[in-house]
Amino acid sequence: MKNLPTTTIPHTSTKAQVSKLQHVQDVFAIEVINAMYRGAKFSGVIELVNGSDSIRKFKGVYRANAKLAWFGQELKKRNPFVNLAGAEVTLLPCYTGDVVASLGQLLSIHHWCQLRIMTLNHPNTSAHLPSKSMYINPSC
């Protein structure tokens, strides 16, 4: 009998936080404050799959089709639709900088500090720096 994996990703989690950032160049992105995905409320810059066409109204609520992993896993069926109801949203049509690449477990303070230093020292950082809300609070 094959061993079954001992770790699974949750379908939903109110405790999920930004767990990975990725540097992008010249992409259509949005900055969100208090957006929701699978029960997790988060803030940050997210890359959209197909520019402004990625923002759609579904059952009376605006959602954004984003390039975003869940607990480190890319979802096979389609990209995540982030719920924008009640969120502050800023369009960033030609964004260069760091985007939220994954929601999941909190980073350790050691990894958070390394990530923060890498982001601040990145040579391609332009005037489009993500807001403070994007970074994980290590005191949580």
* Higher-pLDDT residue of 112, 56: 56
Residue 72: pLDDT band by 50, 70, 90 thresholds? confident
Q: Residue 70 corresponds to which tokens in the numbers above?
A: 């869940």
CA 133 to chain centre: 12
Within a 13 Å sphere around the CA of 100, how many CA atoms are in the beta-carbon half? 33
pTM: 0.69
- How high is the pLDDT of residue 138? 38
> What integer best gives the mean pLDDT of the chain?
78
Between CA 140 and CA 132 the distance in angstroms is 15
Structural tokens at position 27: 């992409």
> How many whole angstroms separate alpha carbon 44 and alpha carbon 39?
16
